[in-house]
A and B are shown apart, each in its own frame.
Chain A
Amino acid sequence: MSERQRADRQLGAVVPADGTAHAAVPKQREPGEVVAELDDLAVWFPTPAGVVRAVDGVSLRVRRGETLGLVGESGSGKSTTGLALLRLVDPTSGTVRVGGEDVTRWSRRRLRALRRRVAMVFQDPQASLDPRLTIGASIAEPLIVHRLTDGGAARRRRVGELLDMVGLRGELADRHPHELSGGQRQRVGIARALAGEPDLIVLDEPIASLDLSVQAQIMNLLRRLQRDLGLTYLFIAHDLAAVEHMSDRMAVMYLGRIVESGTPAQIWRDPAHPYTAALLSAVPVADPQVERERRRIILSGDIPSPVDPPGGCRFRTRCPQARPECAETDPVLAEVDPDHRAACLFAKEAVRAMRSA
């Protein structure tokens, strides 16, 4: 790695190995139709300690054929946002639209149809597969529920096809989950999600409990399937490098809100929100020289309780650049560059100040 690349990497910049401009990367596509949309979504949970505002005003759109990445730490509301798209949690306010239809108040009966159109892959494939069912039976379940195949023979054929798509041998259909490795089980989870030919797949921390070499296998598989089948993903993870790698556009969440959104290149190279900049500087890089030379922005304290979020800007209690105005105004997500938004009164300026501090 050249000195220049090291320096850029330290700043979180994106420079391809051959040194050419980043614009050459084939990540831009024509914007497709909107597959799913959240508009000012709030999901609040009553608890003995008070009302937990897990999601508190999130708007986003997922377009056909793209991957929207959602990154955040625990308690940011990223998983609850994903669950809301399948109506697996009930919105407190706001709307959920899938394929142009408002599904916010759909009945339980109608939701069955929704869950064919939006599928989900969970973090722990061990927990999401029934240990008593064979792999084949698990994958066949959505085919039966949604009446997608006629008869046992067609179903078996389709299960074989799905196993092949995720890179598993057909004879695994007769095995049970405990006989498979973690990576194989996650492939089964993906095959199940593909069974209904969904419009959108919500991937909730799909690689978090896997070993490093297996994580790479699963990320490559997901990208290949997307290319071959034109799939649309909402990729939810706490791993910033993985979200950067997988996404066409990404959003950073903090305490129930989106604080910044843009392309991975914009966010990696030029974060506008102080929280994003702190998050980027906290991600360890597997290069001892970079690690020794870099200056970390260490945030003090912990994420505040979602029962009682701070007034004004939610990040101000931990923000190294918080100013008096931040306690008074709740900043909206505003454009800082084309297609790049941040919810900070001092977007960019605060990041520059933090980095030169």
Chain B
Amino acid sequence: MKPVLAVEDLTVTIGTRRGPAHAVAGVDWAVQPGETLALVGESGSGKSMSVLAATGLAPRTARVTGRVHLLGTELTGLGQDRRRRLRGRHIGFVFQDPMTSLNPVLTVGRQVTEAAEEHLGLTRRAARSRAVELLEMVGIPSAGQRVDAYPHQFSGGMRQRVVIAMALACEPDLLIADEPTTALDVTTQAQIVELVADLQRRLGTAVVWITHDLGVVAGIADTVAVMYAGRILEQGPVDAVFGTPSHPYTEALLAARPDPAAGGAELVTIAGAPPSPLDLPAGCAFWPRCPVRGDARCEHELPPLVPVSAGHQVRTFYPQPTDGERR
């Protein structure tokens, strides 16, 4: 099966006054039709930047290298216009703050189908009934009336539903969701997660979901990539990565959350902070904080991504034992 979106050896370097910042330092991933790929990491890990760069939305000051294929078409060599058309036709976006995607002075109905009018050539009248249909699909009550309302008349959760309707207007092959529930309350988050899963089942859309929340990942992902300092440290099927985390960073992240089943024991922490993207270490970027702490090789040599089981890869010289359940 041909992946919907695939990136190979992607790097993003951003020029700053203090020198080049290596936001993404060589990343490979692919999302298959109908599948959900979760990119997980802490702030500054490069998870959002890798997706923005792959879809041609990186800031102008960024230098992007590597190859990106959208439905088999190589995007990197294409001109701005052609790339924009492909992106608009095949990819929908949902960002953390719905108000960054919504225009406060246009009705939600106009906005939901704006892209569809351009990319599918719908007439105004057809667009309006399509807007009502889409708002109904994402669970907006009395969509027939609400189609003429403005964004400020909606709650945060309802606004995010509108943005999802907007993203799905062109029946995209891929939905990119960048921390779509981070600004929402947990009961609203549950509604949105359920909605996206349901729409995905019905429409067969592939999803790239960017998040820092491992709980959300466990609920939505088929495959997961854990990012740190611009690189993927571990990736594979969600059950393999959560069941037998093989990189010390993944393991520490999973242990850092308070677990009610642990009865209030001291939390596992990771000492120190991630390296600056202005000054990435030559070897393993996690080495200075690593509890396993390997040897001089870790300090000087970049560990390759090595397979530990089917589809499960880890970037370390010392994969953690993967036999049996340890958590």
Contacts and interface: CB of A to CB of B under 8 A. Distances in A.
Interface string B264-294: 1011111001000000000000000000000
Given A211-B43, A245-B264, A296-B190, 4 more contacts: A211-B42, A216-B269, A287-B218, A299-B190
A212 B218 contact: no
Interface size class of A (residues with CB under 8 A): 35 or more
A296 B194 contact: yes
Contacts of B42: 211-213
B232 interface: no
Question: Size class of B's contact patch?
Answer: 35 or more
A297 to B, nearest CB: 9
Residue of A183, A241, A245, A284 ringed by the most chain B CB atoms within 10 A:
A284
A302 B155 contact: yes
A17 B327 CA distance: 10
Contacts of A281: 190
7 contacts: A12-B260, A27-B264, A216-B267, A219-B267, A220-B269, A284-B189, A299-B190
A302 B269 contact: no
Given A73-B185, A74-B185, A220-B267, A16 B212 contact: no
B103 interface: no
A244 B216 contact: no
Interface of B: 42-43, 155, 157-158, 185-191, 193-194, 212-219, 221, 238-239, 242-243, 252-254, 256-264, 266-270, 273, 325, 327
A284 B261 contact: no
A216 B213 CA distance: 14
Contacts of B219: 284, 288, 291
Interface of A: 1, 5, 8-9, 12-17, 22, 25, 27, 73-74, 181, 183, 211-217, 219-220, 223, 238, 240-242, 244-246, 264, 268, 278-279, 281-291, 296, 298-299, 302-303
Contact of B269 (A217, A244, A282, A290): A217
A15 B262 CA distance: 7
Contacts of A246: 258
A151 B327 CA distance: 53
A302 B261 contact: no
Contacts of B269: 213, 216-217, 220
A22 B261 CA distance: 10
B98 to A, nearest CB: 14
B264 A212 contact: no
Given A211-B42, A296-B194, A16 B263 contact: yes
B205 to A, nearest CB: 20
A289 B190 contact: no
B249 to A, nearest CB: 9
B79 to A, nearest CB: 38
A178 B262 CA distance: 36
Contacts of B155: 302
Given A1-B325, A211-B43, A296-B194, A291 B188 contact: no
Given A220-B267, A279-B187, A298-B190, A14 B260 contact: yes
Given A211-B43, A284-B213, A181 B262 contact: no
A244 B260 contact: yes
A282 B267 contact: no
A5 B217 contact: no
A282 B42 CA distance: 22
Contact of A238 (B186, B256, B259, B261): B186
B324 to A, nearest CB: 11
Contacts of A268: 260
B257 A17 contact: no
Contacts of B189: 282, 284
A286 B254 contact: yes
A289 B185 contact: no
Nearest to A294: B219
B290 to A, nearest CB: 12
A9 B261 contact: yes
Contacts of A25: 263-264
A8 B212 CA distance: 26
Contacts of A12: 260
Given A1-B327, A74-B185, A288-B239, A302 B218 contact: no
B187 A282 contact: yes
A73 B190 CA distance: 13
A285 B218 contact: yes
Nearest to A25: B263
Contacts of B43: 211
B157 A290 contact: no
A22 B213 CA distance: 28
A68 B157 CA distance: 29
B218 A288 contact: yes
A220 B257 CA distance: 12
A184 to B, nearest CB: 8
Contacts of B257: 212, 216, 241, 286
B327 A241 contact: no
B268 A216 contact: yes
Q: Which 9 A-B pairs rank lowest in CB-CB distance, beginning with the nearest?
A: A284-B215, A245-B258, A282-B190, A73-B185, A286-B214, A216-B267, A211-B42, A291-B219, A216-B256
B261 A17 contact: yes
Nearest to A296: B190
Contact of A286 (B190, B217, B260, B325): B217
Contact of A299 (B187, B221, B260, B273): B187
Given A183-B273, A302-B188, A219 B258 contact: yes
A213 B256 contact: yes
Contact of A283 (B186, B242, B262): B186
Given A15-B261, A238-B185, A284-B218, A245 B213 contact: no
